[in-house]
Amino acid sequence: MPKNILCLDVGGTNPRLAMVKVLGIDHYEILIQQNADKNQDSIIPSINIFLQWCANEKGWRTNTCVASVAGPVFNNSCEHPTNAKFPVIGTQIRDLSALKNVLVLNDFAAIGEAIATINPPQDKIIPVPGYRQGDEFGQPNYIPPPQPQGPRGVIGPGTGLGVAYLRWEGNGYVVHPSEGGHAGMDGGRGLALLLEFIRNKLDINKISAETLVSGQGIRHIAHFLLTHPQSMRAILKTRSEIAKDIAAFENTKKIKITNQQILDAILNEHADDSLKKDAAEIIARAVPHNRTALLTMRLFMEFLGSAAQDLALQGMTTGGLFLAGGILPKNKELLMKGDFMRAFYDNWQESSRQLLRKIPVYLIDDYDISFFGCGRAGHMKFHDVME
């Protein structure tokens, strides 16, 4: 008889709850899901209401919970989730609900658990084409095959920047969570002033990857471009492909969103202490209508490529590099443009460039992938005690 697992996704947007049915090894079905309020003091009332509804209305019961949380996890708990006001503590969930088995995972550990089951390409796992050597412009169309049992990596920009590694150990992949999103970050040609702008804006010395490759990174890049028009022109001089596309865009006269509107969104975001004004999303949506938004997102893809290169080289991810997070599925066309892959290949060492060209890259176009990863993690850990 199939068993169920309550899966929680406490990420950068609204927390979500799902009842997931275990149909077999690496075979899971989401029965139902719903959002919870991120501003509440505890997730436990939402858990109990959800469990009661599932039992009374559908006859679905479980004694097992797996929570995927954006933030560092220690001792089966995340004391300070990235964008929720409540902690996620395994013992509290166990003691204050009917759930006897509770596992708390970093959000990218959960995504890694889902990736551990995937032999790409697969439904909602989209290859990101690259370039053959000597052909780094135009439309990318090269997809190298993954190495069987080769290491895999996951990187995903959203509210923050998540990173995880997978290694083949014994009969399958084992996930290794990481805080690699906070590793150092360098800028490409012509971007030194941008990095200095961010240092001064945030009053920090070190620029981490997350500072640029996340929703806040989109805001920082746009803010700089809007307030430093001369730097914007200098950046375009070193990026002929982007300059050509922006020139074509300007000839269409599609400008419907002004620079001032974007700047106002950046400066006034959360001014009313709400989470409703997402300037990064406004900028991404403005790409078809504003040249600054277009350049911002193209540079964002370039920074992402650089961060992905670091992950690929550090992990030797010949089994595939997987792009996750909430930003990229909404910007697939820009991801496929080539800026990402050119930055991904850009390394001074010839041997590193050769290795990078052997690494396949995939976009995870599935918002529910964390639930499948939670289902797998719970099934593997609690299969003997699940009810």
Beta bridge partners of 154: 164, 322
Please provide the CATH number assigned to the domain covering 3-115+368-382. 3.30.420.40
Please compute Rg for the chain using Cα positions.
22
Among candidates 81, 62, 56, 57, which has minimal Cα distance to 18?
Answer: 62
Each residue of 27-45: pLDDT tens digit? 899 999 999 887 888 999 9
CA–CA separation, 44 and 40 (whole Å): 10
Please answer whether residues 7 and 18 qualify as being in contact, where contact means their C-beta atoms are separated by less than 8 angstroms. Answer: yes
How high does pLDDT run on average in the chain? 88
Q: What is the pLDDT of residue 33?
A: 95
CA–CA separation, 315 and 307 (whole Å): 12
* Distant-in-sequence, close-in-space partners of 181: CB < 8 Å, separation ≥ 6: 155, 160, 161, 162, 163, 208, 209, 210, 213, 214, 307
Note the Cα 181 to chain centre separation in Å: 10
Each residue of 46-97: pLDDT tens digit? 999 999 999 999 999 999 999 999 888 999 999 988 778 899 999 999 999 9
pLDDT at 275 over 50: no
Model confidence at 325, pLDDT cuts 50, 70, 90, reads confident
pLDDT at 274 over 50: no
Each residue of 160-207: pLDDT tens digit? 888 889 999 988 899 887 666 677 667 677 788 998 999 999 998 888
Model confidence at 120, pLDDT cuts 50, 70, 90, reads low
Please provide the CATH number assigned to the domain covering 125-364. 3.40.367.20
Among candidates 157, 143, 127, 305, which has minimal Cα distance to 219?
Answer: 157
Domain ranges of the chain: 3-115+368-382, 125-364
* Distant-in-sequence, close-in-space partners of 173: CB < 8 Å, separation ≥ 6: 112, 115, 116, 152, 166, 167
Q: What is the pLDDT of residue 152?
A: 96
Q: What is the pLDDT of residue 343?
A: 93
